[in-house]
Structure 1
């Protein structure tokens, strides 16, 4: 049994990741920390609570940091809409459910201390909550089995030419995390996510599933797949679910060791993940980076796991 903590900014691909975790019988899901990123913290938190309620996910949800460590918050609302995700169908039902009383940083610290075994921390948003936890109590690194993150890139960015969105939102937090001694890191960047492509046929498959919860998911999936082109003719990469797909099907991915540092000062490169592959020459590795994915099989694994939750 693997203990898991999820840290999320709750857009649509975060939603799919949550359903995948719920489907995995070998996971002990300790909690969800929410961070500002795709949208402001109140919106991301409301999304998380609505998803958990509508899909009957029995996991405690905690509100985390509402801004980066030192920079103003920049969200993805210009691309994803004011809710951090759009739909072409029925919206998630509105609910009156509150988060747990503790903040996400305190809750994560408690979970790490109290877990019977070290915890795998899955981070699929900006790394602010994780950095705050490590800053508050550095010794907790010994209670983290591995930090598995969706973020960064070995090549071009998406939010800027050089930077991937999750890292760009809070590069100072990412710098804390990538320089934390003793922390095992596994990075799923844009380079591997762009090998995992969601196509119209996948949307149509989900649209064929019976039930109201499947219908609700299908509307958001449809809107997500149309981000690159209004009629969906251009495949859309899956981002956050690749992390949970690796937990389910690790044989579908390959990795390479590298030294990853975060660019904090560059006028055009702030938030860039600088990957040094010269291991054994001038660099010591600090991260395992996902390099290849069997894209079609990963997408199939994602959809199969999601369907099991209905």
Structure 2
């Protein structure tokens, strides 16, 4: 039986790979895609999601736009890693969508999909957590319909936007704290400590580009993203953060997790947006956040390649 899946996203190059992975995986039924501000403004994340949906031949999946700013305080700046349009300036290389964005907002779409579901739904938030915080605040009764959240975000020992904070959580710390700390929905967190280790090299990308027109189109979105990682990490490749989280949603247990008590720094000091993981043996609150810290790296990369290379022509 397939797992019903909703992806909440801010495309984003790695988001593109994540959406493609979901589309290529028969274990999941992609019910809907919701968009949020993040790597680029909401209008761009939504336009990118629509074009990616067209590339993947999944015009049947509704795409609904959500929050265009954080719950409380403005996002200080956007990500520069993904280029001006979020897809390395290559959005125009993707097919024009044949279906517009859903007229419903993201929270309404998620609510209606959850209400209609006949089995627990996995939600994979791979952008700022604003839409998810709004959903849980407005419709707490629907928590029972959510099987699990698989969240890409946070850093246990390192950040990627500040020394201690990862971009998704840093973009809306108040929303992130609501979801990760205050709610009781089963949650797996996929932090940058692990996703950086799951990076794929330029050779891996070149091989993927040769598998199909769709694979080539995905790799064609990586130009500025590749340049960023060469500059900041000396990496001849890219970090596919969000695809790692989607892999865990498709194949539960592909990532090794440990339960921790955690909090989120919402102060205005240098650690704003940082995940605070309590690794002591005796803690004041229960260790209820499953944090993914390890995986079979070669096995994960092989899984990603196998699925993405199975996509047909664009």
Band the TM-score falls in, shorter-chain normalisation: over 0.9
Any idea what SS the aligned residue of 2:51 has? helix
| More moved, 131-140 vs 235-244 | 235-244
Alignment match, 2:106:
104
Bigger mean CA offset, 113-122 vs 276-285: 276-285
Alignment of 1:70-149 (within 5 A): 70-86=72-88, 91-95=93-97, 97-149=99-151
TM-score by length of 1: 0.93
How far does residue 282 in structure 1 lie from its aligned partner after superposition?
Answer: 2.9
Q: 1:291 to 1:214 in 2, by over 3 A?
A: closer
Match of 1:64 among 63, 66, 87: 66
For residues 247-276 of structure 1, give each alpha carbon's deviation from its aligned partner in whole angstroms, at most 9, with x where no partner exists.
344454211110121100141000001001
Question: Scaled by the length of structure 2, what TM-score is found?
Answer: 0.92
CA deviation string 1:196-252 (max 9, x = no partner): 0211211220232243x3332221135433322169853432200001222344454
1:190 to 192, 196, 203: 192
Aligned-partner SS, 1:48 = helix
C-alpha distance in 1, partners of 2:93/2:224? 12
* Alignment-derived partner of residue 12 in structure 1: 13
Length, aligned pairs only: 309
- Match of 1:16, SS state, is helix
Deviation at 1:88, TM superposition (A): 7.5
Partner of 1:34: 35
Task: Show structure 1 runs of 5+ residues with no match.
Answer: none
| CA RMSD in angstroms, aligned pairs only | 2.1
Partner of 1:240: 242
- Shift of residue 89, structure 1, vs aligned partner: 10
Aligned ranges for residues 154-193 of structure 1 at < 5 Å?
154-193=156-195
Inter-CA distance 253–282: structure 2 relative to 1 (3 Å threshold):
same
Query: How far apart, in 1, do the equivalents of 2:55 and 2:206 lie?
Result: 22
Q: Comparing 81-90 with 293-302, which one deviates more in the overlay?
A: 81-90
Q: Does 1:256 align with 2:294?
A: no
Paired with 2:14 and 2:256, the residues of 1 have a C-alpha distance of 22
Q: CA deviation at 1:130?
A: 0.3
Q: Is the 8 A contact 2:54 2:98 kept in 1?
A: no
Could you tell me how far 1:278 is from its partner in structure 2? 2.7
Counterpart secondary structure, 1:246: helix
